């Protein structure tokens, strides 16, 4: 009996000990973030930002900052030796022609695209239209330009998306009606450049991981495709290469200001609903901390040198427009205002603050018709 009592007490003691140990575990992760995430952010001093960098001549800083950005984007595909554009379908529209084309966007692969060309005599101003993410991968370029010669379900999908995000108006067609050549491609993973195995939200994280393991990044490939698209658009004989801009909503906005930072083929840019700071985005509650979609806009190590508004400021002194919504849950207003202030300081330093338009709308994550109208007026001012 005595042995049984001793054994029971030993078991009971061990249970209390195990319970005590469980209660003293200091967990290392909360809401997908390391518990020391604030300390990580405090170490980000952004030494390549304009004003922080040792280079005090803006032109030289701009060149160096772009080089640092490009270095963080390696390994990237080579530029095509020949675009080899092929027109595969044409549709006449009200005041312009819609063309479905193929062209080499790199030496490794070609992409399908929509190209809208106004009636009349060129050369015309032109816009690279950059589609959003939306966790909606079945269409890409069709989010910006009304598709044709497609299956009914693709057209229905595109029409529905135009209502959800653009108040029922295809932004690319709207600009073509007002005299712009418009180009839109699918970013890798969207539309006709999607997964052979079919659409999968988790597939984007696996794709990003595979890029990283081969010394590249998914986001860098998307950006470089955008750069090559701008170069292709500028090369067309009916396009005035001195009047080429870019426009995007949501992820497309990120792509837009990145594109203007990366190449001077772009003369003006508009970015709708994507600008903020790492301080405000890297929190326990922001959507950016969930991984997945964030990989499509993540350049490895760039935060060691520049924050989002610093990177966008490489485009200075070119005209740039940024719209955000006060009801946009993805981009906290404090971060938007801080980013706007940072960029205005850069444009002011070059006496070109009049070229930078920033505005907060009483709107959610949405690109409504009035916003589109003011964006068109911005481009008309600088590209016409």
Task: Extract the tokens encoding 382.
Answer: 């600088």
Sheet arrangement for strand 320-325: 86-93, 96-104, 110-118, 181-185, 124-130, 239-249, 268-272, 320-325, 356-361
Helices (H), the chain: 2-23, 37-42, 58-73, 152-166, 171-177, 203-213, 218-235, 251-262, 278-281, 308-312, 333-349, 369-383
pLDDT band at 292 (very low <50, low <70, confident <90, very high): confident
So what's the pLDDT on residue 198? Answer: 81
Task: Extract the tokens encoding 278.
Answer: 């790492």
With CA atoms as reference, report the closest residue to 264 among 237, 236, 241. 241
Q: What is the mean pLDDT of residues 144-150?
A: 97
Q: Indicate the CATH number for domain 31-383.
A: 3.40.50.1820
Kind and range of the H or E element at 324?
strand 320-325
Query: What is d(CA 272, CA 366) in angstroms, rounded to the nearest whole number?
Result: 8
So what's the pLDDT on residue 201? Answer: 87
- Beta-strand pair 33-34/29-30: antiparallel
Neighbours of 180 (CB within 10 A): 29
Percent of the chain with pLDDT over 90: 86
So what's the pLDDT on residue 293? Answer: 86
**pLDDT digit string, tens, across residues 57-113:** 999 999 999 999 999 999 999 999 999 999 999 999 999 999 999 999 999 999 999
Tallying the residues shown for the chain, one arrives at 384
Query: What is d(CA 227, CA 262) in angstroms, rounded to the nearest whole number?
Result: 7
**pLDDT digit string, tens, across residues 186-200:** 999 999 999 888 888
Neighbours of 290 (CB within 10 A): 10
Query: What is d(CA 270, CA 7) in angstroms, rounded to the nearest whole number?
Result: 74
**Predicted model pTM:** 0.92
**Burial group, residue 257, by CB count within 10 angstroms (0-12, 13-18, 19+):** buried
Q: Is 360 helix (H, G, I), strand (E, B) or coil?
A: strand
Query: What is d(CA 134, CA 143) in angstroms, rounded to the nearest whole number?
Result: 10
**pLDDT digit string, tens, across residues 4-58:** 444 444 444 444 444 444 456 678 999 889 999 999 999 999 999 999 999 999 9
């Amino acid at each position: 009996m005595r042995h049984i009592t001793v054994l029971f007490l030993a078991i009971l003691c061990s249970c209390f000990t195990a319970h005590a140990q469980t209660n003293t575990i200091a967990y290392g992760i909360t809401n997908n973030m390391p518990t020391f995430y604030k300390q990580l952010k405090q170490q980000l001093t952004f030494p390549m930002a304009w004003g922080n960098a040792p280079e005090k001549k803006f032109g030289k800083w701009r060149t160096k900052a772009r080089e640092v950005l490009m270095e963080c984007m390696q390994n990237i595909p080579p530029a095509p030796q020949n675009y080899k554009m092929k027109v595969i379908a044409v549709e006449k529209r009200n005041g312009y022609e819609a063309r479905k084309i193929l062209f080499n966007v790199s030496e490794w692969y070609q992409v399908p695209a929509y190209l809208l060309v106004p009636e009349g005599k060129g050369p015309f101003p032109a816009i690279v239209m950059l589609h959003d993410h939306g966790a909606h991968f079945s269409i890409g370029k069709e989010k910006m330009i009304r598709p044709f010669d497609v299956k009914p379900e693709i057209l229905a999908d595109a029409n529905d998306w135009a209502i959800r995000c653009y108040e029922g108006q295809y932004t690319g067609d709207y600009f073509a009606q007002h005299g712009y050549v418009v180009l839109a491609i699918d970013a890798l993973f969207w539309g006709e450049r999607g997964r052979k195995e079919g659409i999968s939200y988790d597939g984007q994280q696996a794709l990003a991981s595979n890029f990283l393991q081969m010394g590249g990044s998914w986001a860098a490939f998307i950006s470089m495709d955008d750069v090559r698209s701008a170069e292709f658009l500028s090369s067309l004989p009916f396009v005035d290469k001195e009047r080429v801009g870019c426009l995007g909503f949501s992820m497309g906005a990120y792509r837009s200001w990145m594109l203007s930072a990366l190449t001077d083929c772009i003369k003006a840019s508009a970015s709708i609903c994507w600008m903020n700071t790492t301080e405000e985005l890297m929190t326990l509650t922001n959507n950016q901390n969930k991984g997945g979609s964030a990989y499509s806009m993540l350049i490895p190590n760039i935060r060691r040198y520049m924050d989002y508004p610093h990177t966008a400021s490489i485009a200075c002194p070119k005209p740039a427009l940024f719209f955000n919504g006060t009801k946009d849950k993805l981009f906290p207003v404090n971060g938007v205002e801080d980013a706007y202030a940072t960029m205005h300081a850069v444009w002011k330093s070059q006496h070109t603050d009049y070229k930078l338009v920033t505005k907060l709308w009483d709107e959610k994550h949405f690109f409504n018709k009035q916003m589109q109208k003011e964006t068109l007026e911005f481009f008309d001012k600088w590209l016409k």
